[in-house]
Amino acid sequence: MLLKTCFPAFLAVVLLTFSSCKKKKGNDPAPNVQEETLAFELPDVQVGKYNIAQDSTYGLKVTITSKIPEKGVKVTLNVATETGNIPLGQDAVPDVTTTPFTITLRHLKPLKTYAVTVTLASLGNTANSAAPKVFYLTNKSAE
């Protein structure tokens, strides 16, 4: 007799337990894609040292050595005089999705030396940025 009255209640508890533990489909969050840490090289210049430009413009080649993030890379460029740290305005660098690419430095004054800083950061993950690279560039033209 006890089996007839307890069995339906036990069966109901078991069914509720299994149905509540069942995994629901379609509500899974998108997997978090881990980006490779950004790294790049400036193959045509000596980083941390003095380099020579022969004109008021200079083509700077940049090679990304890590895997390029899916959304691309933002390039930040800072050019300032070595003495006085006076900024020299440059054209904005478009976002990058391929490697290598070239940045054209413009408006270099004759016989002036500039500190050039190049920084790369992922467009999809702001925490993923490469260490900045600094080099010095002297325009040796006499106008």
Provide the mean pLDDT of the chain: 84
- Whose CA is closest to 50, among 118, 120, 139, 132? 139
In a domain, 32, yes or no: no
In a domain, 110, yes or no: yes
Q: How far is CA 95 from each of CA 86, 87, 108, rounded to the nearest angstrom? A: 26, 22, 23
pLDDT score recorded for residue 142: 73
Tokens of 10: 């036990």
46 domain residue, yes or no: yes
In a domain, 64, yes or no: yes
Q: What is the pLDDT of residues 97-123, one digit of tens each?
A: 998 999 999 999 999 999 999 999 999
Parallel/antiparallel/unpaired status of strands 50-53 and 73-81 = unpaired
Residue of higher predicted confidence among 81 and 17: 81
User: Residues 7-39, buried b or exposed e (16+ Cβ, 10 A)?
Assistant: eeeeeeeeeeeeeeeeeeeeeeeeeeeebeebe
Residue-wise pLDDT tens digits, 20-44: 655 555 555 444 557 889 999 999 9
| Number of domain units in the chain | 1
Predicted TM-score (pTM) of the model is 0.72
31: in domain: no
Find the range with the poorest average confidence among 4-8, 51-55, 57-61, 125-129. Answer: 4-8
Residue 119 covered by a domain: yes
pLDDT of the residue at 30: 47
Please check whether residue 20 lies inside any domain of the structure.
Answer: no
pLDDT (mean) for 119-142: 92
Asked if residue 82 is part of any domain, the answer here is yes
For residue 106, give the CATH number of its domain.
2.60.40
Number of other residues whose CB lies within 10 A of the CB of residue 85: 8
List the domain range (segments joined by +) for residue 68.
40-139
Question: In this predicted model, which residue has the larger pLDDT, 142 or 67?
Answer: 67
Task: Please give the structure tokens belonging to residue 11.
Answer: 């069966």
